[in-house]
Amino acid sequence: MLGLNIFNIKKRRENKMTTLNPELLKKQNLSKQRMKQLYIAYDEIDALRLPECPTPDDELADAITWQEYKIQRLWGFASDSDYHSYWYRTPRCRCPMMDNEDLSGTGQRIYRKDCKIHGISKWTTTKLKKHY
pLDDT in tens, 101-120: 888 888 888 888 888 888 75
pTM tops 0.75? no
8 A C-beta contact, residue 51 and residue 91: yes
Greater confidence (88 vs 38) lies with 38
- Which of 56-60, 73-77, 123-127 is predicted most confidently? 73-77
Distance of alpha carbon 87 from alpha carbon 8, whole angstroms: 19
Distance of alpha carbon 78 from alpha carbon 38, whole angstroms: 15
